């Protein structure tokens, strides 16, 4: 039977599968931000430029959030 401490340590461990998933998410968010940034230069209307700018910012915020969460988790595990 696990002790409470062992259970907590198990919950703080990120599996290689989870790490791979997070890495894929980060790559996807980066790619979407780059694509939105490229689209901004091709947009002809201010509304579309504004929407693409918003999308790019959202993607970068998701990337930052994923990285912060991973860093917090890593710090808690040590």
> How many residues would you count in the chain?
78
pTM for this model (two decimals) = 0.68
Cα–Cα distance between 9 and 27 in angstroms, integer? 28
Residues 28-41 have a mean pLDDT of: 92
pLDDT category at 20 given cuts 50, 70, 90 is confident
* 47 in Cβ contact with 24 (< 8 Å): no
Domain boundaries, the chain: 17-77
Instruction: Please check the confidence at residue 51 and state whether its pLDDT lies above 90.
Output: yes
């Amino acid at each position: 039977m696990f002790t409470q401490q062992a259970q907590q340590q198990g919950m703080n461990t990120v599996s290689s599968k989870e790490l791979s998933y997070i890495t894929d998410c980060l790559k996807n968010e980066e790619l979407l931000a780059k694509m939105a940034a490229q689209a901004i230069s091709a947009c002809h209307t201010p509304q579309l430029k504004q929407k693409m700018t918003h999308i790019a910012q959202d993607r970068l915020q998701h990337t930052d959030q994923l990285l912060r969460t991973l860093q917090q988790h890593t710090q808690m595990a040590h």
